[in-house]
Structure 1
Amino acid sequence: MTKLLNIASLAIAATAALHVKGPTGEPLYADEAGKHPIRIHLHGPGSVPMAPSNHVSPRAR
């Protein structure tokens, strides 16, 4: 029997949060207590916020 590829197993999240690190490699925090991490939210090409930028206007053709 042939084993089929489950395409859902290759899926990734449309967005991700990246914890910013300083020059020494230590994670950065917005407060002294270290409770509020400094993060960058990344949006993949299939995510909702990226959809308008992927659209090509009919006038641009």
Structure 2
Amino acid sequence: MTVNAGLYNLTDKKYWRWDDVRGYDGVGEAGVTAPANLDRLTQPGRNFSVNVVWDI
């Protein structure tokens, strides 16, 4: 049995993945219609995960 665990974004900073926002810019879709649209693309705050693999 293998157990993996992780804690992510411990400082609770707002961040985006480049792949999610690379099409947006100051004059693009998000900049003109609603700059707040970029906030919906942020990654989660503090979070954790646990993964258990049971080899039979």
Q: Scaled by the length of structure 1, what TM-score is found?
A: 0.28
Q: Which has the higher contact order (CA 8 A, sep 6+)?
A: 2
Q: Which is greater in Rg?
A: 1
Q: Pick the structure with more strand per residue.
A: 2
Q: Pick the structure with more helix per residue.
A: 2
Q: Scaled by the length of structure 2, what TM-score is found?
A: 0.29
